[in-house]
């Protein structure tokens, strides 16, 4: 019997943009700032599923104040590498946010279309405030202006995966943010 080596997800990475240690340090720094800014307030972290989950988990542990969690699941990419521009809410919040301070936690801000839609959706529910925390910002791709209150890293216009970000539901489990080799997403499905 011949054993064939199975490719590892990291083999599909052209370069690492942000390593695990830098992510950890930045998330701890952001958590401390959020804790100071929201001390004594009724904070709800609203995470965008699925990509922001690792970021949310680390960020909430680094934010040393009482807080609540809720989730939205939205779709604008499907299985492609470009946003379709059509945003759909697949799962809405489980709890009311009226009168509460909401901090949207997202993995990446690209064109701004999805987050602009999400922020408008949340404002319609009459929270005390809505602010935005993103791990990665690609400002060169912005189509819709979106104000970022807490920014992790500014990155170039490259297709990235890892630390929650995916391509066709793969690579989310990588501990770093890396650029996916173009031949991976150029392969026929």
Provide the annotated active-site residues. Answer: 110
Taking a C-beta distance cutoff of 8 angstroms, is the pair 165, 172 a contact? yes
- Please list the alpha-helical segments (H only) found in the chain: 20-38, 53-62, 113-123, 182-186
Look up residue 181 and give its DSSP letter: P
Render 89-127 in DSSP notation, one character per residue.
EEE--SS--TTSEEEEEEEEESSSHHHHHHHHHHHTT--
- In terms of C-beta density within 10 A (0-12 exposed, 13-18 middle, 19 or more buried), how is residue 175 classed? middle
Taking a C-beta distance cutoff of 8 angstroms, is the pair 74, 114 a contact? yes
CA distance 56 to 186: 31
Taking a C-beta distance cutoff of 8 angstroms, is the pair 137, 148 a contact? yes
């Amino acid at each position: 019997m011949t054993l064939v080596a199975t490719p590892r997800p990291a083999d599909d990475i052209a370069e690492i943009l942000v390593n695990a240690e830098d992510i950890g340090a930045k998330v701890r720094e952001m958590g401390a700032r959020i804790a100071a800014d929201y001390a004594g307030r009724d904070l709800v972290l609203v995470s965008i599923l699925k990509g922001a989950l690792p970021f949310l988990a680390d960020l909430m542990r680094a934010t040393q104040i009482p807080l609540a969690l809720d989730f939205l699941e939205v779709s604008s990419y499907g299985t492609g590498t470009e946003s379709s521009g059509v945003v759909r809410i697949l799962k809405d919040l489980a709890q009311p946010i009226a009168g509460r301070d909401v901090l949207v936690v997202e993995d990446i801000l690209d064109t701004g279309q999805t987050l602009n839609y999400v922020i408008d959706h949340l404002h319609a529910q009459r929270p005390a405030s809505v602010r935005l925390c993103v791990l990665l910002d690609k400002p060169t791709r912005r189509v819709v202006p979106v104000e970022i209150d807490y920014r992790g890293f500014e990155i170039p216009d490259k297709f990235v995966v890892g630390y929650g970000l995916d391509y066709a539901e793969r690579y989310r489990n990588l501990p770093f943010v890396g650029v996916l080799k173009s031949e991976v997403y150029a392969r026929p499905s």
